[in-house]
């Protein structure tokens, strides 16, 4: 599992943590490079290859001021923002390609006794992942820094399902989202266990374009539950499919990125990377 891509991401994540913790001191390139045990030249090249921008530019993208600007630009409804982003850009990726189908009670009855689930591990720009699927679609995707723990969390959701460690075509198609060649991506179908409220929240998240951000309150308004920000936050925290359902694009109204089930530094990296990609595009 320790591919070079994964090692590179861990170094980037460590650098992001250091920059955020020491932001007031404005650490220079040499200081940050030393923290990740690389020469300044190598670190600059590695970071730029990974993010598409320099560390200095990336720092701008993950600042609270920039996040506030993105939120201000996103005052339109999510559906309006989606169309403003344009059909040809990467911004509408999720809206165009990801479709959610809720599981029926019979499918998850008795802890998923009637479900057969395939699962496999893969690498991504943001670290190792565990992806799982039923015959109808992806039912789980999590960042798997600890593969055994990640599988244990999956198993806890469907304790009586039948599991096979097997990479299938449904998973392969979904994993294309982590590549730059989205022309190979067919519609990704998600097959999820959730309440009607949770499914509405998750469907709303899919409409947030890449490189844009939303808040818990904006999501609550989008689903016509303007006083349900706290419940929306709980539903977002229960999201079973990382990245494909982009809960990382929801932040606090103050501009702070806040916590993330799979690590706050990973959330920061994902937001900064997406802004860099859409800005560069």
Which residues belong to the active site?
Answer: 247
Sorted by sequence, the CB contacts under 8 Å of residue 156 that are 6+ apart come out as: none
**CA-CA distance, 207 to 198, in Å (whole number)?**
15
User: Quick one: CA dihedral 31, 34, 39, 42, positive or negative?
Assistant: negative
Is 116:110 a contact under the CB 8 Å cutoff?
no
Element (H, E) at 214: strand 214-215
Our measurement of the distance from residue 217's CA atom to the centroid of its chain's CA atoms, rounded to an integer in Å, reads 19
Burial 195-228 (b: 16+ CB within 10 A, else e): eeebbbbbbbbbbbbbbbbbbbbbbbbbbeeeeb
**CA-CA distance, 267 to 239, in Å (whole number)?**
14
Q: Collapsing DSSP states into helix, strand and coil, what is residue 104? A: coil
User: Would you put residue 102 in left (φ > 0), alpha (ψ -120 to 50) or beta?
Assistant: beta
Residue spans of beta strands (DSSP E) within 59-194:
98-102, 116-124, 127-134, 137-143, 162-165, 188-192
């Amino acid at each position: 599992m320790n591919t070079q891509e994964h090692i590179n991401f861990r170094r980037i994540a460590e650098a992001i943590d250091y920059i955020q913790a020491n932001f007031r001191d404005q650490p220079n390139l040499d200081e940050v490079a030393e923290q990740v045990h690389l020469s300044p030249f190598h670190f600059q090249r590695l970071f730029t290859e990974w993010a598409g921008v320099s560390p200095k530019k990336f720092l701008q993208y993950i600042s609270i001021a920039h996040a506030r600007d993105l939120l201000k630009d996103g005052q339109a409804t999510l559906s309006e923002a989606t169309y403003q982003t344009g059909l040809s850009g990467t911004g509408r990726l999720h809206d165009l390609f990801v479709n959610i189908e809720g599981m029926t009670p019979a499918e998850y009855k008795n802890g998923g006794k009637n479900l057969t689930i395939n699962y496999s591990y893969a690498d991504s720009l943001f670290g190792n992942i565990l992806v799982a699927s039923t015959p109808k679609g992806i039912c789980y995707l999590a960042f798997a820094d600890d593969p055994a723990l990640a599988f244990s969390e999956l198993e806890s959701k469907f304790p009586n399902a039948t599991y096979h460690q097997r990479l299938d075509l449904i998973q392969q198609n979904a994993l294309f989202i982590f590549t730059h060649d989205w022309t190979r991506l067919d519609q990704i179908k998600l097959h999820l266990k959730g309440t009607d409220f949770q499914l509405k929240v998750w469907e709303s998240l899919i409409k947030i374009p890449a490189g844009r951000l939303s808040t818990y309150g904006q999501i609550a308004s989008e689903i016509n539950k303007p006083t349900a920000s706290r419940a929306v936050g709980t539903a977002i925290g229960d999201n079973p499919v990382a990245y494909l359902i982009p809960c990382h694009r929801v932040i606090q109204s103050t501009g702070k990125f806040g916590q993330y089930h799979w690590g706050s530094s990973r959330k920061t990296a994902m937001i900064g990377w997406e802004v860099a990609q859409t800005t560069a595009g």
